[in-house]
Structure 1
């Protein structure tokens, strides 16, 4: 039996060095935006699709955000939520120790106090989506 890969948990953030001046909900945003990108690119697993089809449709209609879906999944992003290609990319790009996601995220939102201060809105999602799209193209070309 293989070990589950946990990419992120919101509680890692709000139980750590988290700003006192914002809601714990903000701990969900940075990973929620990545999950939204996963959904936009059909890089989720069949199991995730079966359990989240209604929410996936609402996300694609821009009625709910990736952050809201991440909250529904208790603020946990694990490998069984992604398909093979999604996992390969997440290990390459989203991994907090070796990937570039957090660096890109902080660069895109550099005028914000911390990564936790980024608002969960479509404008911000599309900003980071553009960067992830570029990174995914670079990844695929290798």
Structure 2
């Protein structure tokens, strides 16, 4: 199953002033968080064991990691069984949970004219602001699932 694909974001209302890589930031933040939170699937733990240390060392930004390690595609192979169960309920575009939290946490106070969610910086500073929200959402989800 494919949750997201960076290429899905390049058309339509994608800002002309941004590189295409900006279409990967929001998903890159989620993937980086999930892998660092221990929700990685066999693909990243067995087939590509260098993925997690690369994120831990912060040698690449979350969006750049998503583009290089996942080819800009977020699929069920990226996550564990628990990770997929969580992503199915939280990352789902229809429910809007993740994107609403992403916008509320990182989309406030963006400069006029650069205020789309695609303008959010692909940085560890952005990740560090978002991480506690994702940690809380996972804990809430686990509590409901117990």
**TM-score, with structure 1 as normaliser:** 0.91
Query: What is residue 125 of structure 2 aligned with on the other side?
Result: 123
* Structure 2 unaligned blocks of 5 or more: none
Shift in Å, 1:66: 2.4
How far, CA to CA, are the matches of 1:117 and 1:137 in structure 2?
29
- Alignment partner of 1:114 out of 99, 113, 116: 116
Query: What is residue 140 of structure 1 aligned with on the other side?
Result: 142
How far, CA to CA, are the matches of 1:51 and 1:27 in structure 2?
26
How far, CA to CA, are the matches of 2:24 and 2:79 in structure 1?
18
Query: What is residue 61 of structure 2 aligned with on the other side?
Result: 65
- Alignment partner of 1:75 out of 65, 72, 76: 72
In the TM superposition, 1:10-89 aligns within 5 A as 10-72=6-68, 73-89=70-86
Shift in Å, 1:64: 1.6
How far, CA to CA, are the matches of 1:127 and 1:85 in structure 2?
24
8 Å Cα contact 1:9/1:75 also seen in 2: yes
Shift in Å, 1:50: 2.4
How far, CA to CA, are the matches of 1:99 and 1:88 in structure 2?
16
Where do 4+ consecutive residues of structure 1 move more than 3 Å?
none
What is the total number of aligned residue pairs between the two structures? 138
Please tell me the root mean square deviation across aligned C-alpha atoms, in Å. Answer: 1.2
Shift in Å, 1:98: 1.2
How far, CA to CA, are the matches of 2:120 and 2:47 in structure 1?
28
**TM-score, with structure 2 as normaliser:** 0.89
8 Å Cα contact 1:55/1:64 also seen in 2: no
